[in-house]
């Protein structure tokens, strides 16, 4: 069971190429901060803009640093089933603990198509799958009924839920059972998500604030609601700022301000606007993350 604070890692670039040294430094920073797990090459890692070789290399770089100390859930999804199988197979060979497989975007498969897609991947590669349900980017929404059907497969173990529907984790827990892992994909709603049966969060904000994110989850598991409330309130403006434009634009700018990496994005993503930069900078200062 995955639980706690997982970081959806950004992928730093330098002069158009993956900045490998900086990337591994960012992974080490997560380890030092007490993060419970990391997720390379997901949406926040700009996976749609990476070549296959880059995608696989970034997964390997992450696993090389982690060395089994915390779980690695590698992004392996695609809107082409064969490509997802290829990436899932690579993740297994590289030593990932699971693959994060997004619902196919653009194709708009039916619920039967979703069952066929995930079953094909799960049958082809003996590596746990976390379903990534994000209707805001993929258009389609996997139903709870479909998730129940897929949960019967031994290799399909949970979901990253980015629906922002706070009834969904309770419905999923009642339908799929408490052992079906549920990780939030929405930083700002993580506390009610946990209260409704969730187990953790795959976080954008944890790129820049890994310690408080990890501390919030540790406090939740310890039943320390006073600390949960305090940290949650302090982080909310930061969560909001990280999504003032398409992610990972804001979090990359925040990382640049903090001196963690350059802010370079890959087209079609572009630098965030001046008003968004002000919002991000104010949120960092408010959270005590800048001088």
Torsion of CA 117, 177, 3, 146, to 10 degrees: 20
160 catalytic? Reply is yes
**What pLDDT is recorded for position 207?**
98
Backbone angle region of 19, left / alpha / beta, with phi > 0 → left and psi within -120 to 50 → alpha: beta
Catalytic residue among 160, 252, 277, 279: 160
Domain locations in the chain as residue ranges: 4-224
**What pLDDT is recorded for position 1?**
82
**What pLDDT is recorded for position 121?**
98
Q: Show pLDDT as tens, one digit a residue, over the chain (291 residues).
A: 899 999 999 999 999 999 999 999 999 999 999 999 999 999 999 999 999 999 999 999 999 999 999 999 999 999 999 999 999 999 999 999 999 999 999 999 999 999 999 999 999 999 999 999 999 999 999 999 999 999 999 999 999 999 999 999 999 999 999 999 999 999 999 999 999 999 999 999 999 999 999 999 999 999 999 999 999 999 999 999 999 999 999 999 999 999 999 999 999 999 999 999 999 999 999 999 997
3 catalytic? Reply is no
Domain 4-224 falls in which CATH fold? TIM Barrel (3.20.20)
Q: Measured in Å, how far apart are the chain's first and last C-alpha atoms?
A: 38
Catalytic residue among 23, 118, 132, 253: 132
pTM of the model: 0.97
**What pLDDT is recorded for position 195?**
98
CA separation (Å) from 243 to 203, 227, 239, 250? 12, 24, 7, 7
Residue with token string 């089933």: 81
**What pLDDT is recorded for position 51?**
97
**What pLDDT is recorded for position 289?**
95
Residue with token string 């005590």: 288
């Amino acid at each position: 069971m995955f639980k706690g604070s997982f970081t959806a890692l950004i992928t730093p670039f330098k002069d158009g190429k993956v900045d490998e040294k900086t990337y591994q430094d960012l992974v080490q920073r997560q380890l030092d901060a007490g993060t419970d797990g990391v997720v390379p090459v997901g949406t926040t890692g700009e996976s749609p803009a990476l070549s296959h070789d880059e995608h696989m290399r970034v997964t390997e770089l992450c696993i090389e640093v982690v060395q089994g100390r915390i779980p690695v859930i590698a992004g392996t999804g695609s809107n082409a089933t064969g490509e997802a199988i290829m990436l899932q197979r690579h993740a297994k060979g590289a030593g990932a603990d699971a693959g994060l497989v997004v619902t196919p975007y653009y194709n708009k498969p039916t619920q039967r198509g979703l069952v066929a897609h995930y079953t094909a991947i799960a049958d082809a590669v003996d590596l746990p799958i976390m379903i990534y349900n994000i209707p805001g980017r993929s258009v389609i929404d996997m139903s709870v009924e479909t998730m129940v059907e897929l949960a019967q497969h031994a290799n399909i173990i949970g979901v990253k839920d980015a629906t922002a529907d706070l009834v969904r984790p309770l419905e999923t827990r009642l339908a799929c059972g408490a052992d079906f892992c549920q990780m939030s994909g929405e930083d700002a709603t993580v506390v009610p998500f946990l209260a409704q049966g969730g187990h953790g969060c795959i976080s954008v904000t944890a790129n820049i604030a890994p310690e408080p994110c990890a501390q919030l989850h540790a406090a939740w598991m310890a039943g320390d609601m006073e600390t949960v409330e305090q940290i949650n309130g302090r982080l909310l403006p930061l969560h909001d700022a990280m999504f003032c434009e398409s992610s990972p634009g804001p979090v990359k700018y925040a990382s640049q301000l903090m001196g963690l990496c350059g802010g370079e994005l890959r087209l079609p993503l572009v630098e965030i606007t001046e008003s968004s930069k002000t919002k991000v900078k104010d949120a960092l200062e408010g959270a005590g993350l800048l001088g």
